[in-house]
Amino acid sequence: MSDCLFCKIIAGEIPANVVLRDHGFVAFHDINPKAPVHILVVPERHVVSIADVAELSETERAAMGPFIARVAAAAGVESGGYRVATNAGPNARQEIMHLHWHVLGGALLSQSM
């Protein structure tokens, strides 16, 4: 989608610190990290939020969870533990309207979600 920030990152039009790219997903560091490790995982296909996950192919849906786990392992937070979260819609304060998973770790995280 032409006016989507994350689509521009995926296309390489806007720079990002990419960690991993595979199976239709890209992982890159959050520009404003809320934890020592804060990585965003996005599908290359533009999907607004988890509410629209049916717009991903079956293959993409199957790859999504394992890809997130691979990103956490690659970031070195697997043994210590990490949080995976996604915001959908205004009550969740979703800012970027392209499905993304926050992968947070590297320290004891706050109890609030």
Could you give the C-alpha distances from 76 to 50, 58, 62, 71, 81, in angstroms and in order? 26, 28, 23, 9, 9
Q: Which is nearer to ligand AMP, 19 or 40 (CB)?
A: 40
Q: How far apart are CA 101 and CA 13, in angstroms?
A: 21
Q: How far apart are CA 21 and CA 93, in angstroms?
A: 26
Q: How far is the CB of 9 from ligand AMP (least distance, A)?
A: 6
Q: Which is nearer to ligand AMP, 32 or 79 (CB)?
A: 32
Q: 100 an active-site residue?
A: yes
Q: Which stretch binds ligand AMP (CB under 6 A): 18-26, 58-66, 73-81, 93-101?
A: 93-101
16 near ligand AMP (CB under 6 A): yes
Q: Which of 22, 110, 28, 102 is nearest to 62 (CA)?
A: 22
Catalytic residue among 38, 98, 100, 102: 100
51 near ligand AMP (CB under 6 A): no
Active-site residue set:
100
